[in-house]
Amino acid sequence: MVSPSVARVAELDDVHSGESRWQVLGYANSSQARYRASRLTSQLVDVAPGLVGVAGLPRPEGPHGVCSNPLLVWDGQARAAVLWACKSHRSKTCVACAATYRSRVRRVATIGCLDRARAGGHLGMVTITPPGDPGHRRFIPGRPGRHPVCGCEHVLAEGHGVWNSRAGRRWNALRTAFAREFPGMQYFRCVEPQVRGLLHLHVILWSPDAPVDPLVLHRLAMAAGFGCNVRWDPAGDDPTRFAGYASKYVTKTVDDRGDVPWTVLDELTGELVDCAPTFKTWSQSQRFGCRMRDHLDAVKAARQRRALAPISVAGMALLSMVLGAVVIEAADVDGEGGCLTAPPDWSQDRLLEAVTAS
């Protein structure tokens, strides 16, 4: 039985739409999904020996490779079984789909960094860590030397699981304090679990007017219950250099989510109980840049343009020089090919004629 979340992912696929036409049977590697497909068709659906996939069905391939854990889906209109990419965010489940998701998160972060950089202001990344071990000495940004014992670890008295489960509320309090100190502040945040199981944050922070003072960040983070090791790194001349650094932790965090201790208060019994973690691996403010939905719409539009004018990158470059067209993307937003934009006075028929002639 496929989980509801997997079914929702399949129903929201940009290429395949229509709830009455498509029926998700389960993962193609499961015997139950193949049995259900066999009941719907007169032919036996089985896994090809030594291959991850279904015999006779093409495996879905994305910009980062072939999906290793595809979904088996029944097409009610064609009366046939097809395979869809699993779109998993976990590299342990599917390396190719996880890489595609990671690249999309990086693209969203990159667009946001470029938008904020064009708007001016102050852009950089702040790393916010959890409290350290007992007896550690306080870290103060910009003030090297031997400082007194910190004592910030007192917030870990109830255990790592309790601190992790309340980290979301701490971040909400901290971003509110950031917004008061730096009016108009926007952010892009990624979460990474440490080896000891505590969560720490990588936050791309933008302030439109007020300069970002590392000592102010340090004071606000400690007041919100985080550790003293708070570091600020300005973006400098390269506003996008933090996008890849922050987004690379997305799939790593999803893979390690199950190992993060998570303890909550049971409202019925009043006891602390361990449960599965429920934190978000990344988030951003509404006006930092584009949303993931906007990016997926751009991917869909790029695929439609490529279907209208399929042409290689080299062919696009040649066509742009000969006909005066403008190549807007050497590779589309998912690295799957090229797209061509013609001058404004061109019709679609003229564009098709030019592509056919090339």
Higher pLDDT, 274 or 59: 274
- Residue 20 — very low, low, confident or very high, per pLDDT cuts 50/70/90? low
Query: What mean pLDDT is predicted for residues 67-71?
Result: 88
What local confidence, expressed as pLDDT, does residue 79 receive?
Answer: 78
What local confidence, expressed as pLDDT, does residue 173 receive?
Answer: 95
Indicate whether 55 pLDDT > 60: no
What local confidence, expressed as pLDDT, does residue 315 receive?
Answer: 57
State which of 25-34, 327-336, 338-347 shows the largest mean pLDDT. Answer: 25-34
Task: Measure the CA–CA gap between 229 and 18, rounded to whole angstroms.
Answer: 51
Indicate whether 346 pLDDT > 70: no
- Note the helical H segments in the chain: 4-11, 31-40, 95-118, 160-165, 167-181, 214-223, 241-247, 249-256, 292-308, 313-323, 348-357
Higher pLDDT, 33 or 107: 107
Indicate whether 78 pLDDT > 50: yes
- Residue 56 — very low, low, confident or very high, per pLDDT cuts 50/70/90? low
- Residue 312 — very low, low, confident or very high, per pLDDT cuts 50/70/90? low
Q: Please state, for a pLDDT cut of 70, what percent of the chain lies above it.
A: 75
What local confidence, expressed as pLDDT, does residue 313 receive?
Answer: 53
Tens-digit pLDDT profile for residues 96-149: 999 999 989 999 999 999 999 999 999 999 999 999 888 888 888 878 878 888
- Residue 314 — very low, low, confident or very high, per pLDDT cuts 50/70/90? low
Higher pLDDT, 336 or 282: 282
Tens-digit pLDDT profile for residues 153-177: 888 888 999 999 999 999 999 999 9
What local confidence, expressed as pLDDT, does residue 53 receive?
Answer: 40
| CATH 3.30.70.1910, applies to 97-290 | yes
What local confidence, expressed as pLDDT, does residue 334 receive?
Answer: 40
Q: Which residues contact 52 (CB under 8 A, 6 or more apart)?
A: 28, 29, 59, 68, 69, 70
- Residue 350 — very low, low, confident or very high, per pLDDT cuts 50/70/90? very low
Tokens found for residue 109: 């972060």
Helix (H, G, I), strand (E, B) or coil at 123: strand
What local confidence, expressed as pLDDT, does residue 184 receive?
Answer: 94
Tens-digit pLDDT profile for residues 240-271: 889 988 888 888 898 888 889 999 988 888 88
Query: What mean pLDDT is predicted for residues 330-335?
Result: 38
- The residue type found at 317 is A
The structure tokens 């250099």 sit at: 241
- Residue 209 — very low, low, confident or very high, per pLDDT cuts 50/70/90? very high
Question: Among residues 80, 73, 202, 231, which one has the least CA distance to residue 141?
Answer: 231
User: pTM score, two decimals?
Assistant: 0.74
Query: What mean pLDDT is predicted for residues 38-47?
Result: 55
Spans of all domains in the chain: 4-87, 97-290, 294-357
- Residue 42 — very low, low, confident or very high, per pLDDT cuts 50/70/90? low
What local confidence, expressed as pLDDT, does residue 18 receive?
Answer: 42
- Other Cβ atoms less than 10 A from the Cβ of 103: the count is 18
Q: Which residues contact 339 (CB under 8 A, 6 or more apart)?
A: 302, 305, 306, 309, 328, 329, 332
- Residue 292 — very low, low, confident or very high, per pLDDT cuts 50/70/90? confident
Indicate whether 235 pLDDT > 50: yes
